Amino acid sequence: MIKQHRKLSLADFSGRGNDISLEINWNDLVKGCKYIKLKVNDREAVIKKDHLWTQMFMLSDDDQQDKMVGQSIIKTPQKVYRTVIYLKSPRDIHKGEMTSVPITITINSKGEVLVKP
């Protein structure tokens, strides 16, 4: 993270000369890179870094998003049980008709139970 005052520039791809300057930590109220001052020509705006980050994430493809987020894999031991439940209904389906519902029950090491149809 940048801790001191810094000015950055982004070149205008169209070639019109409308380069964008970014200014970070320009005074004591905005230390910590929480806000970014954007300037195009003589117009400027102050935006939250989080909002810029969100927009850049939405514009990124899957590979770029994976790089932005960073991934960590945690293995958790779990037990998986698969079974079928048979139901007999007195009405609405057809009286006496059997209906089967396959379900998967997952129990992780913390004892949390997840049931999926």
CA separation for the pair 113, 103 (Å, rounded): 13
CA separation for the pair 107, 109 (Å, rounded): 7
Q: Verify that 58 and 90 share a domain, yes or no.
A: no
> What total of structural domains would you count in the chain?
2
Q: Verify that 111 and 56 share a domain, yes or no.
A: no
Residue 95 lies in a domain: yes
Report residue 106 as tokens: 């997952």
pTM (two decimals):
0.51
Would you state the pLDDT for residue 85?
Answer: 82
Report residue 17 as tokens: 């000369």
Q: Write the pLDDT tens digit of every residue in 45-98.
A: 999 988 988 998 999 998 888 888 877 777 778 888 888 888 777 767 767 777
Q: Verify that 60 and 109 share a domain, yes or no.
A: no
The DSSP element (H or E) to which 69 belongs, if any, is helix 62-69
Q: Verify that 15 and 52 share a domain, yes or no.
A: yes
**What is the three-class DSSP state of 77?**
coil
CA separation for the pair 33, 36 (Å, rounded): 7
Would you state the pLDDT for residue 45?
Answer: 92
